[in-house]
Structure 1
Amino acid sequence: MASDTTQVLLAVEAEAYIEALEKMPIKDVGSPRWMKQHEYLEKLNMQAVLNASANEDEFIKEMLVTHEKIPVVIHELLSVELWRQKVFSIIQKMNFDPKTTFPLYMALYHEATLANLLETILYHREPCESAEDCVLDLVDYCHRKITHLIARQEDDRESKDDKDNKDKGSMEELKRQDRKLQFDIGIKAVSILRYITDHVEGLPLSVTTRILNTHDIPSMLVQLIESPPWTVFKDGKLDKFIDNKWQSVPVEERLKLTRIEGQVWIALFNLLMGSTTQEKYEFNTYNKNQIIKLRAHLSEVILDQIPSLCDLQRYLEHLAMMDPPAAKSGLVLEQVPEVRDLIIRENDGKWGAIAKHQVKTVFNPSSELMKQQAKMFADTYNFDVLESLIQEPPKCAMCGELAAKRCSRCQNEWYCRRECQVKHWTKHKQACNLLAEAEKKLKEATIS
């Protein structure tokens, strides 16, 4: 049981929330009923992260398995992904100027909440196995998100020198926030995929086939090693995406693996060194050449950090000198993902009508509804609870030293002393204005 200092939900509350989880139609995205489920999932997500971080009893994971709700969580993830692709894309093309974009943002943020919850609980074998056939859809989801990570060309960092942001309208700003969310979700998809590879031996054979041969995920992971989207080298400086934000990496720590880099290497090790996966991986000239590229990246520094990769290094040397054995084949009745296809069939030809309906109703809320939502958001996103999710002490946004003071206006940036805050103001001003304005609107909606 979680201690009182790190508790969002009591066990009895969590169980009630989990029992209430249901598969929501896409047309209900943004509705009061949908928002209530978002609140439940967000609190469950925060409690799951707190328990995992503190190495405490992970009762959220256990209850989700007991009540057979892992497939529901995956269904909601795929549903909101389709809402973004099919409905939000139409809304973006409308001449829609809402009083507030907050309900739309929460619909987009819902995907990140679900991805984070799955990332937290799928570390364990039981939730992964209880996903049953839905794990095939989850593999496809991760493949889509990682492919998007590899394909995107723009720099997804919060650009501190972007002079155009101040002139953007609310919908344009929402598009920018969506791009950042999608980058964050892509990072989570890498971790989810790694955990699936941890447990692939206990999953249906169709999962292994889909990972290795339908999508050739080992070759895709090699691309992440070759051109990591979470690393940017510019003007002699190296920035890496660490702990959900871009950080400058000093020269002496450039070869130190970040958590996400470690996830990629472990996933590759699982897929290339597992007995079942070695038997099933269908090699050809292309993927053999891709896999062999890993040799150049297995330096002594990397091997010191993940010693088990020494076995992978020997395997690669052997692979380079000879043709790999043919994959074992046989008559296999392969399962195919069904959840996403079913959602598409249910809503085929209705995307435009759903967008128009939601623009007129849930995404253009009355003052009374906004007041209710503002109170719900204020209760859900309690800053005292969110502070306890931070695993490391805050650091100065200017110099990187340990910080004890924070911006009094937005409460978002930390500083070690007044001088650093003054120097950083020109870079922080824009974000500070946005956060302060959002807080002001939230208070006004609550008071009115």
Structure 2
Amino acid sequence: MLVGGRGEKMETNHILTPGEAEGIVQSLRRSALRHTGSPGWLKQHEYLEKLNMQAILEASAGQEEVIKELLVTHGKVPLLVHELISVEVWKQKVFPIIRQLQDFRPTSTFPLYMVVHHEASIINLLETIFYHKEVCEAVEDLALDLSDYCHRKVTLLLARCSAGEAPGQDRLQASASSQSSSLEEVQQQAEALDFDIALKCLSILRYITDHTDSLPLSVTTRLLNTHNLPCVLVELLHRRPWSRRSKGQLQKYEGGRWLPVPPDEQQKMTKLEGQVWLSLYNLLLRPECHNKYNLNSFSRGQLLKLRSHLTDVLVDQLPNLAELQRYLAHLSVSEPEPPRKELVLEQLPEVWDSIIRENSGKWKAIAKHQVTHNFSPSDSDLRHQAQRWAQTYNMDVMEALVLDKPKCGSCGAEAAKRCSRCQSEWYCNRRCQVGHWQRHKTSCDLVSESLRRMKDRSSL
């Protein structure tokens, strides 16, 4: 059933008071991979989600960014990077084993989904705070690990585009039609999140390239010459994964949704496109980057492909690109200089390798332990988790995070009505709600049941 109206917005501009936020930030600890999904781990996930939402509120409202200051002051930015890579390792090494266990038939995949969602929560928090130079500096030696993480996500996105997978395609609706298992649905949810994570990594890469003069030299060297990030970004502009056509209509990915683009706005640059162009500008024209890039004939050929994309309309929207246009014009009539031979002691990323070494040969044991203790909760434990989840994702708070009018959960059009059971999803009409039900059902059941129990307790 649909219910109309948005209701009243929350009057406060905070989810956490400064005192609560500082207590939470101080309590953050690195988690061992074997503890992923445990009650303590889920508690920290809840804390990070609240920090994430509070940081978004502060940034969007132009307030003093308390969360950013606390994370820097208490030295917790490197911890966020460590936790980000830890859950990435879990998804690649442990989750595939869990999916293959014949005797694992969970009554609910809610705890598993929380782990999958954890990566998206952290990358969103980092994207929100990384705009600031002091945050880039605060990440210290783990800047190398973060840049490697972002490169992995972007190249994986490109690989999927090259394989012919439609960008951001809705695998969940496909799974509903094929009646896939609940574990397969979690895997498809993870893949859908990976698309959004990769696009957020583009913003973080842009902020890293903004502040290369404040980061270890090895970060710049690795981005330019180990990963050849400029050529990766050129390919990204060619593939344009943030753009697609659906039923003949151009759509662009903005704010976590595919939105239709009117004909008169199809030449308008999106924020994501701007982040890619600014990253290229920084990597090719900032002195500390330009002088270190070993430009060979292959890279030169790839970079010259940008000339076809640098239209007058694009340069009018981002005037800095005129300088990049001149650089490419010069590059087209000159030969690249031979690679410079410099003696550089290269620093290597450590977090991924250290987690792999620590858990090497233990993946199956970790998976079985987590299935038994973390991902097979009792009904009462599951209800308790759902209740906490409903409190964390308070609907008034979620509305305050959205500056634009709500969008339909099915088609992305502007929506005026929302699900009457859980109040958490918006739709433009009844047909869209019915078509989206298979995807929405699990979260709707959990949230509505939790809200009912909270209401029952409050009436006692």
Q: Partner of 1:280: helix, strand, or coil?
A: coil
Residue 174 of structure 1 and its aligned partner are, at CA, apart by: 1.1
Q: Partner of 2:429: helix, strand, or coil?
A: helix
CA deviation profile, 1:201-240 (whole Å, cap 9, x unmatched):
1111111100000000000000110001121135532122
Question: Which runs of structure 2 are paired with 1:228-377 in the superposition (5 Å)?
Answer: 228-326=240-338, 328-377=340-389
Which residue is equivalent to 1:130?
Answer: 138
Larger RCO (alpha carbons 8 Å, 6+ apart): 2
Which residue is equivalent to 2:429?
Answer: 421
Residue 130 of structure 1 and its aligned partner are, at CA, apart by: 1.0
Which residue is equivalent to 2:59?
Answer: 52
Q: Partner of 2:12: helix, strand, or coil?
A: helix
Residue 432 of structure 1 and its aligned partner are, at CA, apart by: 4.5
The structure 1 residue matched to 2:128, chosen from 120, 129, 151, is 120
CA deviation profile, 1:77-133 (whole Å, cap 9, x unmatched):
011110111101111111221011000000010000110111111111001111111
Aligned: 1:108 with 2:116: yes
Residue 444 of structure 1 and its aligned partner are, at CA, apart by: 7.8
The structure 2 residue matched to 1:150, chosen from 158, 170, 177, is 158
Q: State whether residues 390 and 447 of structure 2, in contact with CA within 8 Å, keep that contact through their aligned partners in structure 1.
A: no
Q: State whether residues 371 and 445 of structure 1, in contact with CA within 8 Å, keep that contact through their aligned partners in structure 2.
A: no
- Give the letter for the 2:244 counterpart: V
Q: Partner of 1:354: helix, strand, or coil?
A: helix
Residue 436 of structure 1 and its aligned partner are, at CA, apart by: 3.0
> Higher mean Cα deviation, 383-392 or 248-257?
248-257
Q: State whether residues 142 and 193 of structure 1, in contact with CA within 8 Å, keep that contact through their aligned partners in structure 2.
A: yes
Distance 1:205 1:160 in 2: 42
Distance 1:295 1:22 in 2: 47
Q: State whether residues 73 and 114 of structure 1, in contact with CA within 8 Å, keep that contact through their aligned partners in structure 2.
A: yes
Residue 380 of structure 1 and its aligned partner are, at CA, apart by: 1.2
Q: Compared with structure 1, are the counterparts of its residues 398 and 445 closer, same or farther at alpha carbon in structure 2 (3 Å cutoff)?
A: closer
Which residue is equivalent to 2:225?
Answer: 213
Q: State whether residues 172 and 439 of structure 2, in contact with CA within 8 Å, keep that contact through their aligned partners in structure 1.
A: no
Residue 182 of structure 1 and its aligned partner are, at CA, apart by: 0.9
> Higher mean Cα deviation, 242-251 or 188-197?
242-251
- Give the letter for the 2:202 counterpart: V
Which residue is equivalent to 2:23?
Answer: 16
> Higher mean Cα deviation, 322-331 or 262-271?
322-331
Distance 1:400 1:351 in 2: 40
Q: Compared with structure 1, are the counterparts of its residues 216 and 407 closer, same or farther at alpha carbon in structure 2 (3 Å cutoff)?
A: same
Aligned-residue RMSD, C-alpha: 2.3
Residue 422 of structure 1 and its aligned partner are, at CA, apart by: 3.8
Distance 1:247 1:397 in 2: 11
Distance 1:346 1:141 in 2: 19
Q: Partner of 1:281: helix, strand, or coil?
A: coil
- Give the letter for the 2:317 counterpart: Q
Which residue is equivalent to 1:36?
Answer: 43
Aligned: 1:170 with 2:182: yes
Q: Compared with structure 1, are the counterparts of its residues 243 and 136 closer, same or farther at alpha carbon in structure 2 (3 Å cutoff)?
A: same
Distance 2:440 2:380 in 1: 28
CA deviation profile, 1:283-326 (whole Å, cap 9, x unmatched):
11111111110000001111111011000001001001101334
The structure 1 residue matched to 2:33, chosen from 26, 32, 55, is 26
Which residue is equivalent to 1:222?
Answer: 234
> Higher mean Cα deviation, 395-404 or 189-198?
395-404
Q: State whether residues 105 and 174 of structure 1, in contact with CA within 8 Å, keep that contact through their aligned partners in structure 2.
A: yes
Q: State whether residues 160 and 427 of structure 1, in contact with CA within 8 Å, keep that contact through their aligned partners in structure 2.
A: no
Structure 2 unmatched ranges of 5 or more = 1-9
Give the % identical residues: 50
Distance 1:82 1:344 in 2: 8
Which residue is equivalent to 2:5?
Answer: none
Aligned: 1:385 with 2:397: yes
Q: TM-score, normalised by structure 1?
A: 0.93
Q: TM-score, normalised by structure 2?
A: 0.90
> Higher mean Cα deviation, 321-330 or 271-280?
321-330
Which residue is equivalent to 2:199?
Answer: 187
Q: Partner of 2:252: helix, strand, or coil?
A: strand
Q: State whether residues 307 and 328 of structure 2, in contact with CA within 8 Å, keep that contact through their aligned partners in structure 1.
A: yes
Q: State whether residues 250 and 260 of structure 2, in contact with CA within 8 Å, keep that contact through their aligned partners in structure 1.
A: yes
- Give the letter for the 1:269 counterpart: Y
- Give the letter for the 1:83 counterpart: W
> Higher mean Cα deviation, 235-244 or 79-88?
235-244
Distance 2:339 2:69 in 1: 37
> Higher mean Cα deviation, 308-317 or 406-415?
406-415
Residue 246 of structure 1 and its aligned partner are, at CA, apart by: 1.2
Distance 1:399 1:70 in 2: 37
Q: Compared with structure 1, are the counterparts of its residues 174 and 399 closer, same or farther at alpha carbon in structure 2 (3 Å cutoff)?
A: closer
> Higher mean Cα deviation, 170-179 or 369-378?
369-378
Q: State whether residues 279 and 328 of structure 1, in contact with CA within 8 Å, keep that contact through their aligned partners in structure 2.
A: no
> Higher mean Cα deviation, 424-433 or 60-69?
424-433
Which residue is equivalent to 1:71?
Answer: 78
Distance 1:397 1:38 in 2: 25
Q: State whether residues 279 and 327 of structure 1, in contact with CA within 8 Å, keep that contact through their aligned partners in structure 2.
A: no
Distance 1:94 1:16 in 2: 39
Q: State whether residues 370 and 445 of structure 1, in contact with CA within 8 Å, keep that contact through their aligned partners in structure 2.
A: no
Q: State whether residues 57 and 401 of structure 2, in contact with CA within 8 Å, keep that contact through their aligned partners in structure 1.
A: yes
Residue 423 of structure 1 and its aligned partner are, at CA, apart by: 4.7
- Give the letter for the 1:330 counterpart: E
Distance 1:433 1:28 in 2: 29
